[in-house]
A and B are shown apart, each in its own frame.
Chain A
């Protein structure tokens, strides 16, 4: 059992060229940056807000903010990491507006001292995702990740879905590297345990619930 490879190793070589051209007022260069990252920003926004319309708003607001603050972008990090930070903040603001009774922050519900072993150990069937149609599977995955607090699912999405490194995730969320690692472990274990309800090996039957 080996390590998981990151799927996102985006071409960053000409990212800086595009950013510099956009800073000089070349809108087609900025539009190219939008094309390059709009899918990622939308996915991150929908994972955090859990709402399609909010995610659409976040995409627009994040890119507009990036455009209007481009002169302030210091080029010390990747443009994408900077954009993700803007998008995460916009998405969290949406959540706060919707749930004013609860404080939404990246620190919410995070207990770092608890590294106890998972309660549910049962093994999964081989290729469990093939027991479901694509639509059913997406509903299961969406419902499962919605159950995690925003602080867990944001770290999981940036690290494991979008493929940002631990350091980039920490920079985008303004968290320490150990904090990212701790949240990531807990998010992964919680998702694993929750998905087990759908994917566990069955004694008999067709495996569906």
Chain B
């Protein structure tokens, strides 16, 4: 497997959807190609850092304010009928 072929399969590998022979070939490539190992490892970390970051969490007070506003608008819509949105 060449580096460009590894890169082509990287997303499938990280998502766990590679067929077994390709996975074995890819892991064999990673065992000797340091650059691809680093790219694979740091891409995986990138995903994990974003996933675990709690970036843009909705604060509880804003959350209940938004929910009240949504439900109020929904009820207004119901009263006025389907043409109101």
Contacts and interface: CB of A to CB of B under 8 A. Distances in A.
A27 B74 contact: yes
Query: Which of the listed residues B30, B54, B71 has the most CB atoms from chain A within 10 Å of its own CB?
Result: B71
Contacts, number: 146
Interface of B is mostly: helix
A42 to B, nearest CB: 4
Contacts of B41: 1, 123-124
B46 A192 contact: yes
A142 B55 contact: yes
Contacts of B35: 117, 121
B28 interface: no
Chain A CB count within 10 A is highest, among B27, B56, B67, B69, for B56
Contacts of B67: 31, 34-35, 38
A51 B75 CA distance: 28
Contacts of B11: 181, 184-185, 188
Interface string B37-52: 0111111111111110
Contact of B40 (A1, A115, A129): A1
B82 A68 contact: yes
Contacts of B42: 123-124, 192, 195-196, 199
A4 B53 contact: no
Given A118-B39, A166-B15, A43 B47 contact: no
A28 B56 CA distance: 26
Interface in A46-79: 46-47, 55-56, 59-60, 63-65, 67-69
A137 B85 contact: no
Contacts of B48: 4
Interface of B: 3-4, 7-8, 10-17, 27, 30, 35, 38-51, 53-58, 62-63, 66-67, 69-71, 73-75, 77-78, 82, 84-85
